Amino acid sequence: MRYKVTKAIFPVAGLGTRFLPATKSIPKEILTLVDRPLIQYAIDEARAAGITEFVFVTSRGKSALEDYFDRAPELESALKEKNKSELLTLLEATNMESGAIAYVRQNQALGLGHAVWCARHLIGDEPFAVILPDDVITGEEPCLKQMVEAYAELGGNMVAAMEVATDKASAYGILDVPPSVSRCLPVRGMVEKPAAGTAPSNLAIIGRYILTPQVLRNLDGQQRGAGGEIQLTDAIAQEIRNSDNVHGYRFSGQRFDCGSKAGYLQATVAFALSRPDLRDELEAYLQELLATRQAAQ
């Protein structure tokens, strides 16, 4: 029997040091792309894929993240009194049903593998998704939904993958896969942040996973790997060796690395330009800015 994927883990315990001083007082996941926080994009993608149970792995200083998904009675009342129905509708999309979100604490920064392992008791014996909110992915069909549909046919474990430039491979987990143009590829191995020139391919692991409970059991005995952290890729690699049931999924869409300042700015511009209410004014400004820079050169 193959279970449906209805649970997702959101590792959000990081300190967000690359965005200091902004993240001194607010979680990085609350930073906004236009007018929606990063975490909202992740939640919406999960909902579109059929996820109904959301597990947040948090740490100290994340109370604003928890409050974001709670009701705001005073704000709702004020909007009702002013007949701002459109804003009320937007607000309702941020509310989660009681019990839909569970929070567990990661009290030591031991890496992504450890963060996922912290949620093991809430996952039980079912497959589950992992979504990294830093990776914002746009496309005609949400990335996780694409993966859930592929998982329904293949089962096992699945990691999202995209092609990266050879000189950028050392910044990613890289898949060892046979040459193919297929969406789904059997994974022969994976290397976390390979040294320059040693990457087995140019297919990088991106922050979307569908995993079996065995991966959590593999994490029970994991030692620290690359960067001195407990790596999720090490536990998945163990499944390749033991069960040969890992696939890379070459998703359709564009990924923005919102864990970096440059990627975050790129996403902000791209999302704003996709909005009819913002496009014309922003596009005119960017064209004027570019013309001014070119004239100055």
Domains and CATH numbers, the chain: 7-259 (3.90.550.10)
Tell me how far CA of residue 67 lies from CA of 22, 52, 103, in angstroms.
18, 19, 12
Higher pLDDT, 167 or 249: 249
Say what the pLDDT of residue 228 is. Answer: 62
What is the percent of the chain with per-residue pLDDT over 90, rounded to a whole number?
44
Say what the pLDDT of residue 109 is. Answer: 78
Provide the pLDDT confidence category of residue 1 given band limits of 50, 70 and 90: low
CA within 13 Å, CB half, 206: 25
Token readout for 127 is 């497959």
**Digit-coded pLDDT (tens) for 78-126:** 888 888 888 888 888 787 777 788 889 888 878 888 999 999 999 988 9
How many angstroms separate the CA atoms of 232 and 222, rounded?
Answer: 9
How many angstroms separate the CA atoms of 146 and 160, rounded?
Answer: 10
Residue 203 and residue 250 in contact, taking contact as beta carbons nearer than 8 Å: yes
**Which residue type does 203 have?**
L
| H or E, element range at 250 | strand 246-250
Considering the entire predicted model, what is its pTM? 0.89
Whether 225 has a pLDDT exceeding 60, the answer reads no
How many angstroms separate the CA atoms of 102 and 124, rounded?
Answer: 14
Spell out where 91-225 has E strands: 101-105, 128-131, 135-138, 157-163, 173-176, 184-186, 189-192, 203-211
How many angstroms separate the CA atoms of 212 and 154, rounded?
Answer: 12
| H or E, element range at 37 | strand 36-37
**Digit-coded pLDDT (tens) for 34-82:** 989 999 999 999 999 999 999 999 888 778 888 888 888 888 888 888 8
